[in-house]
Amino acid sequence: MTTTIDTPAAPLEAASGAEACCTLSAGPIDSVDAERLASMLKALSDPTRLRLLSHVAAQGCNSVCACDLTEPLGISQPTVSHHMKKLVEAGLLTREQRGRWAHYSVVPAAFAELRAFLDLA
Amino acid sequence: MTTTIDTPAAPLEAASGAEACCTLSAGPIDSVDAERLASMLKALSDPTRLRLLSHVAAQGCNSVCACDLTEPLGISQPTVSHHMKKLVEAGLLTREQRGRWAHYSVVPAAFAELRAFLDLA
């Protein structure tokens, strides 16, 4: 971790082993990218939102009705709506109204971008 | 994105293609994991910290001297120290004092955990 040998950054494929160097695939990021990533990470920096997101994402390709998110988390419908709005505004979820209920799906490209940034180790 | 066909979640390997379903590898997370992940994500939800982190991570296995982080970002040494402290406290970086200067390295396991959670798409 603290060696100072000047090895080149390993390619992504070689970096997945336990012995591999830490490497950031894209190198230093600029301030525009940093602002966009930070806004997504800020929306994720809440434990209730992470649990809601994990319930939506666990449905794979299926969207999830807001009505099915209150019971597993033990939170009220207004609280669900508040947190889901933050995730939609950050571009992490999409929202579709179907009659009385909103339905949510993950935005794969947003998570791909976060993963690409976090692709250390 | 909004189909309601009840397909099982695809395994991780099969989920990397452009046509793949969104899938969260670990399924719904509990409140303990959510708290820990949220605290790491909160430390990352600042554009200056993301840029600092990207400079450290770009050095691969090498640690980075705090003295080398002021110029590329155009920020003061106290500002560097403030932000680096938040990243160390969140378990994302390690800090080693060498004489006058602190040196920082990424913690691969922390990023592996974040990536595992964000493994959607």
d(CA B121, CA B118): 9
What pLDDT, on a 0 to 100 scale, did the predictor assign at position A8?
Answer: 41
User: What are B6's two structure tokens?
Assistant: 């009840």
Q: Which residues of B touch A22 (CB under 8 A)?
A: 57, 60-61, 105-106, 108, 111
Q: Is the pLDDT at B7 greater than 90, yes or no?
A: no
User: What's the mean pLDDT when you consider all of chain B?
Assistant: 82
CA distance B115 to chain A (A): 6
Q: Measured between alpha carbons, how far apart are the two ends of chain A, in Å?
A: 11
What pLDDT, on a 0 to 100 scale, did the predictor assign at position A47?
Answer: 97
Residue contact A2–B63, C-beta within 8 A: yes
Query: A35, B45 in Cβ contact below 8 A?
Result: no
Beta pairing partners, A104: A64, A95
Q: Which class is domain A30-117? A: mainly alpha
d(CA A10, CA B113): 20
- CA A87 to chain CA centroid, Å, is 9
Out of B2, B47, B51, name the one closest to residue A28 (CB).
Answer: B51
A108's CB contacts (< 8 A; 6+ apart) are B22, B120, B121
Cβ-based neighbour number of residue A21 at 10 Å: 22
User: What are B3's two structure tokens?
Assistant: 């189909």
- Local confidence band at A14 (pLDDT 50, 70, 90 cut-offs): very low
Residue contact B118–A120, C-beta within 8 A: no
The CATH number of the domain covering residues in B29-117:
1.10.10.10
Phi/psi at B78 (5° precision): -60, -35
d(CA B48, CA B80): 9
pLDDT digits (tens, 9 = 90+) for B23-80: 555 578 889 999 999 999 999 999 999 999 999 988 877 899 999 999 999 999 999 9
What pLDDT, on a 0 to 100 scale, did the predictor assign at position A21?
Answer: 56
d(CA A29, CA A34): 6
User: What's the mean pLDDT when you consider all of chain A?
Assistant: 82
d(CA A92, CA A70): 20
pLDDT digits (tens, 9 = 90+) for A45-78: 999 999 999 999 888 778 999 999 999 999 999 9
What pLDDT, on a 0 to 100 scale, did the predictor assign at position B2?
Answer: 40
What pLDDT, on a 0 to 100 scale, did the predictor assign at position B116?
Answer: 87
Domain boundaries, chain B: 29-117
Percentage of chain A lying above the pLDDT 70 cut: 77
Rg, Å, chain A Cα set: 18
A70 in reach of chain B (CB within 8 A): no
Q: Which residues of A touch B39 (CB under 8 A)?
A: 45
d(CA A26, CA A117): 7
Q: Is the pLDDT at B121 greater than 50, yes or no?
A: no
User: If 0-12 CB within 10 Å is exposed, 13-18 middle and 19+ buried, where does residue A114 land?
Assistant: buried
